[in-house]
Chain A
Amino acid sequence: MRRSLRVLQLQETPAASAVVALVVVFSIASAHFRTVSNINDLLLTSLFVLFVAIGMTFVLTAGGIDLSVGSVMGLGGAITGLLLEHGAGTTLALAGGLMSGVVVGLLNGLVITRLKLADFMVTLASLSIVQGIVEMMTANQPINYSGNALGNLSGATVGPVSVAVIYAVVITVIMAFILRFTSFGRAIFAVGMNPRAARLSGINVEATRVLAYVVSGFMAALAGVFLASYLSTVQALQGSGYELEAIAAAVIGGTSLLGGKGSVWGAALGALLLGTLQNGLVLASLSGYWFDVVEGAVIVAAVALGGGLQVLRTIAIPVESRRARAAG
């Protein structure tokens, strides 16, 4: 009895149940939904949000927020594409693109922690700055991905599944591990939950926060490379709107906007949920723009419910707490 109660308390449970429910409903409603190619498509298009959401999870859990991810996606894709066009090897090009994300993240983090400026304002400003830079880079000549080494990330398959999806799973596993089982990950939770206690416990609060932004920048750049490959070209606005989706995915998965609580698997489930929703809407021949509305509503619901679930937990807990107090 105890075990099953604990599953209910997992922060990822609501997201998982929602995904399952949606998948079931859509599968019944549409035969096309159930096809392997559609599922593959679904997974593929959820990738991009997934990566950004994972990075966002790190930042949110540390108690911050990163609104610049949308433009960093463009930056990552652009730089990697440019390097490839100029003949650089795949690894170098990829490294270059990812580095650009790291640099932006580093700058964000440093400005926020050293100058003590509001995180959403700083990342909002860097969103604008990076956006401008990317637009300048892609203005005169589109950066093409078709025909280069990374151009077929989505196309290549292993069996029925895209290679990209496999990469995504691996990356998710690694990031989840980092957040959960490394001292860095533990520090992120501590800093987000109670920065004063973290400081007194010997944790370097500023460095942890900066690193969280670096992770976010890195993941955004990674997402940008994948997205550019999928679209075969780098569009300056390709990442537009992803920041909100990423926040939504993270929050759905149990990450708290206030910090101290987060889950990479939850973010993955959240991204999956959003991807399923989008997929379902497309299949229902609804304009893709419906998704924007739905998304806005979803994030509101997720945040409000997130708070609500917390309240539920504190109400449901007293039973346990009475037991704890009886024991001590």
Chain B
Amino acid sequence: MMAGDSAPRSRPVTVADESRRMKARRMIVMGLANVTRPGAAPALFLVLVTLVMGVLSPNFVSISGWYFMVNESISVALIAIGTTIVLISGGIDLSIGSMIALGGALSGSLLLHGVPMVFAFALVVCVGAGVGVVNGLLIVGLRLPDFIATLAMLTAVRGVLLIWTHGDPILGYMTGSYSRIGGTTKIAPYLSVPILVCLGIAVISAVMLQKTTLGRHIHAIGGNREAAVLAGIRVSRVKIVTYVISGVLAAVSGILLAGYLTEVSPGTNASGYELIAIAAAVMGGASLYGGRGSVFGACLGAVALTVMTNLLQWWNVDPNLSDVLVGVLILLAIALQRLSIVVAERRTPSSRVARPRTARTSGGPGVARG
């Protein structure tokens, strides 16, 4: 039965071509949606790796092997989640690299000064939120392009960090409980605090994104900013919130990382993390054009990237190659995303939905013409 017609139901379906076209269209769209479904890529990658390595070297894929890799990937997973949220709203946060370093250095330093753990961590989280607010204000208030604003913050925060620490490493703050929090000490067989924290944050973020108004609005802004504005959504507020979340998650990641590595060396800056976070998020299905993304996909992406770097080490490949690979992966990912958009537009020409980033010249609500 052809839907959408006002023809009475007793009349037989006439234009068979059209109904077949509609069906085909539907199938193609669903197919594309499945293949590019958030989380599909890293999941596939991990399954592949397990199979291959399972055959070649069983030691690599023992359960304890997985445990270590997952544990190692948590700090990336957390910022990947934050990046996913920012990407969904159509923005980008490059400042998280130095934010992690700052978070770690601050917690170590505060602990060294005898501040009780809870307060120290709370303070660090607040700083993360503060940086997020500044990012948000720069972008929303001063109308700076997001990558410029967050790039500037990346540099500024790194500068602050280096001024404060003079480039010296921070050590000696480890305690038993921090070691548990950092994940070097397990709290249960194959379970560590970071893994729990990450799971918790992932669940909360996923629920927020899918089931709350805020999450809905974040998707809307990234999907079609004008539509969101027309619908009365406070775009500025929502964007600032996304940057705050990103900053907070980077701070938490820094806290955990400091516990895991047992020392913080700000001299060798944690740069490159922002790219890895983007790579993980994009692998997990986040679109650089906004409107799409998956928290669990990002987590899987983070694990996948860690597995990949471990694999490369296993094969004695030059560690610097992983930098190269991250870059190549990102390029591939965005090229694929662009391809899927082009394909989708070509297959369904009659559904000319307004593309959020194109200039409009007629007919839309935002044009000043007589």
Contacts and interface: CB of A to CB of B under 8 A. Distances in A.
Asked whether A and B interact, the reply is yes
Interface of A: 67, 111, 115-118, 120-122, 124-133, 135-136, 139, 240-241, 243-244, 247, 257, 287, 289-297, 299-300, 303-304, 307
Contacts of B167: 289
User: Across chains A and B, which 4 residue pairs bring their CB atoms closest together, nearest first?
Assistant: A292-B159, A296-B156, A132-B323, A128-B327
A118 B330 contact: no
Contact of B155 (A118, A129, A131, A296): A296
B153 interface: yes
B324 A295 contact: no
B106 interface: no
Interface centre among B143, B151, B325 (most CB of A within 10 A): B151
A294 B163 CA distance: 12
Nearest to B357: A118
B102 to A, nearest CB: 12
B155 A295 contact: yes
Contacts of B163: 287, 289-290, 293
A129 B158 contact: no
Nearest to B268: A237
A284 to B, nearest CB: 13
Interface string B146-159: 01110111111111
Interface stretch (B43-51, B228-236, B314-322): B314-322
Contact of A290 (B159, B323, B328): B159
A174 to B, nearest CB: 29
30 contacts: A115-B335, A117-B334, A120-B147, A121-B330, A121-B334, A125-B331, A128-B324, A128-B326, A129-B323, A129-B328, A129-B331, A131-B324, A132-B321, A132-B322, A132-B324, A133-B320, A135-B323, A136-B318, A136-B324, A139-B320, A240-B271, A257-B145, A287-B163, A289-B160, A292-B156, A293-B156, A295-B155, A296-B156, A296-B159, A297-B152
Interface of B: 138, 142-145, 147-149, 151-163, 166-167, 271-272, 275, 278, 288, 318, 320-328, 330-331, 334-335, 338
Contacts of A133: 320, 324
A68 B324 CA distance: 13
B155 A292 contact: yes
Nearest to B322: A132
A83 to B, nearest CB: 21
Given A132-B322, A139-B318, A244-B152, A304 B144 contact: yes
A242 B138 CA distance: 21
Contacts of B142: 300, 303-304, 307
Contacts of A307: 142-143
B323 A131 contact: yes
Contact of A300 (B144, B154, B330): B144
Nearest to A289: B162
A244 B162 CA distance: 17
Contact of A244 (B143, B151, B338): B151
Contacts of A111: 331
Given A247-B148, A307-B143, A132 B159 contact: no
Contact of A292 (B148, B162, B334): B162
A130 B320 CA distance: 10
A287 B166 CA distance: 8
Contacts of A128: 272, 275, 323-324, 326-327, 330
Contacts of A294: 159
A302 to B, nearest CB: 10
B288 A121 contact: yes
Contacts of B147: 120
B324 A116 contact: no
A125 B330 contact: yes
Contacts of A297: 152, 156
Contacts of A244: 151-152, 154-155
Nearest to A139: B320
A180 B323 CA distance: 38
